[in-house]
Amino acid sequence: MSTQHGTPHDSRRNRGLFRTKTVEQSIRDTEEPEHALKKSLSALDLTVFGVGVVIGTGIFVLTGKIAKEQAGPAVALSFVVAGVVCALAALCYAEFASTVPVAGSAYTFSYASLGELPAWIIGWDLILELALGCAVVAVGWSGYVRSLLDSAGLHLPAALSGTHEGRFGFDLLAFLLVLLLTAILVFGMKLSSRVTAVVVGIKVTVVLLVIVAGAFFINGANYTPFIPPSETGEAGSGLGAPLSQLMFGLAPATFGTMGIFAAAAVVFFAFIGFDIVATAAEETRNPQRDVPRGILGSLAICTLLYVAVSIVVTGMQKYSKLSTDAPLADAFKDLGHPFFAGVISFGAAVGLTSVSMILLLGQSRVFFAMSRDGLLPRAFSRSHPRFGTPYRSTIALGAVVAVVAGFTSIDELAELVNIGTLFAFVVVAVGVILLRRSRPDLPRSFRTPLVPLVPVLSVAASVWLMLNLPAETWVRFAIWMVLGFVIYFLYGRSHSRLGLRNRRPAKD
């Protein structure tokens, strides 16, 4: 009898819920003409994508808010800590993306290392996180644009301004933004990268202008004390409390050394998005070289900008006097420079455009990869014959996200955006260790240093941050995962292309 199916252990592994899809097969699937994506991106394009999705309104709001409530001027150190945590995950992503240059990011990586069911779980999770993330950002963008229109004397009807404070409405601006970005993504990655480059250029110029202008108003006395004395924070209750408090009785800390690390758990979410660079690996001309550069380069640039802005805002105004809604803009207003406050609002509105588009891009690529593997209907994995983009999945998901953004308030959306990214970080870090052991022969143009130490540290840091999330976020996450299990066992498992291949009778 032929041994083409490998050892009995391999056979069992490839027929169960944890059947793995080889790296070679993943790459071969990208060569099917009807399901192939056009390669047009460079390392610079990927770096711009990374900066475009990470730098959003958070740089103008989160820096001052966390300084006032948790870390004081030492919030700059919190950004460094969060940047290090992200760097651990980024090193793991860089190895996987250069070894398996296929659309789908963490979904594809886990399929090659952990198996089909874990891959489905992470893919299903990423679809939710990226869809809600895109909707949240679109609603936030709408708020900034309405504010700018109000300043110009133009007012949208309340019924078209979204749902706010119990008043139901349709957010027309958020709806139209998502549809416009969907059209841009359908027309090609190169067009998307050019639009993103222009938007990111404007956004980074605004950030640099704020840093340089704010530096002239820094008062050294505002940095004292740099690390304010530690205080015991208010303990949460019920499902609103952090999981770490419910499990271990750990009371939240503010200020002091522990305040720096507690703040890092919050500002970490300002970095979410750099991993989306990996979803574009299949559309990169030289992914083995350029994807690691794009991931690590964008993360380094964003960390530097976050630290610089946090130093400026806490130097311009005493941390205890910062506003929590628009701390940087209000600091300029208090110093008699409202022009810069307007520039910040403009930069935030422009910046959120690229964030929303890249989240939608990442989501459509994960959906496309799952469809190409048969875990979702194969009709969604057709690429456009002219533009080489996954147009069916992009249009379908864009329409859904546009409706969600139009009818849902930002508070209802924001709760679920965070936990999935951390879960993906854990899966990718574990996957690096497993693939090193199961396939040491694979060519790796980028290798994560100090394996297994770096992946283990990445897992530990991500789990710690997950435990700082409210219990209600875990409950919602669990409900979505249960729904995913149901869909997998009713549809995905029986339609899996890998499963169908493995069920073909072996030749004697």
Neighbour tally for 152: CB within 10 Å = 8
Q: Is the pLDDT of residue 9 over 60?
A: no
Q: Tell me: pLDDT of 415 over 70.
A: no
- Rounded Cα distance between 152 and 160, Å, is 18
**Range name among 6-15, 90-99, 119-128, 192-201 with the lowest pLDDT average:** 6-15
* CATH level 3 topology of 48-232+241-498: Amino acid/polyamine transporter I (1.20.1740)
Instruction: Give the residue-averaged pLDDT of 303-329.
Output: 87
| Residue 229 CA from chain centroid, whole number | 33
Residue pLDDT, tens place only, 112-142:
888 899 999 989 988 887 888 888 888 878 8
Q: In terms of Cα–Cα distance, which of 187, 76, 81, 101 is closest to 445?
A: 101
Rounded mean pLDDT, 101-105: 80
Residues 298, 54: Cα–Cα separation, whole Å: 8
The pLDDT of 458-471, averaged and rounded, is 85
Query: pTM of this prediction?
Result: 0.81
Whole-number Å distance between alpha carbons of 250 and 467: 11
340 vs 211: CA distance, rounded Å: 11
Is the pLDDT at 409 greater than 70, yes or no? no
Answer for the pair 272, 291: CB distance below 8 angstroms, yes or no: no
What HEC string does 396-442 produce? Answer: HHHHHHHHHHHHCCHHHHHCCCCHHHHHHHHHHHHHHHHHHHHCCCC
For range 160-172, the mean pLDDT? 70
> What is the distance between the alpha carbons of residues 175 and 363, in angstroms, rounded to a whole number?
17
DSSP of 83-119: HHHHHHHHHHHHHHHHHS--TTTHHHHHHHHT-HHHH
Lowest mean pLDDT among 74-78, 266-270, 282-286, 488-492: 266-270
- For the ranges 9-23, 142-156, 434-448, 466-480, the maximum mean pLDDT occurs at 434-448
**pLDDT of 13 over the 80 cut:** no
Q: What local confidence, expressed as pLDDT, does residue 305 receive?
A: 93
The kind and range of the H/E element at 253 are strand 253-254
Residue-wise pLDDT tens digits, 253-302: 688 888 888 788 778 767 877 777 887 778 888 888 888 899 899 999 99
Q: Is the pLDDT of residue 480 over 80?
A: yes
Structure tokens at 247: 């499990």
Question: Measured between alpha carbons, how far is 100 from 366 in angstroms, rounded to an integer?
Answer: 14
Selection from 153, 138, 118 nearest residue 20 by Cα = 118
Which residue has better confidence, 32 or 306? 306
Which pLDDT band holds residue 14 (cuts at 50, 70, 90)?
low
Phi, psi of 70 (to 5 degrees): -135, -30
> Binning pLDDT at 50, 70 and 90, where does residue 233 land?
low
* DSSP per position, 285-345: SSHHHHHHHHHHHHHHHHHHHHHHHHHHHHHHS-GGG--SSSHHHHHHHHTT-HHHHHHHH
Can you give the pLDDT at residue 325?
65
- What's the confidence (pLDDT) of residue 146? 80
Give the pLDDT score at 171: 86
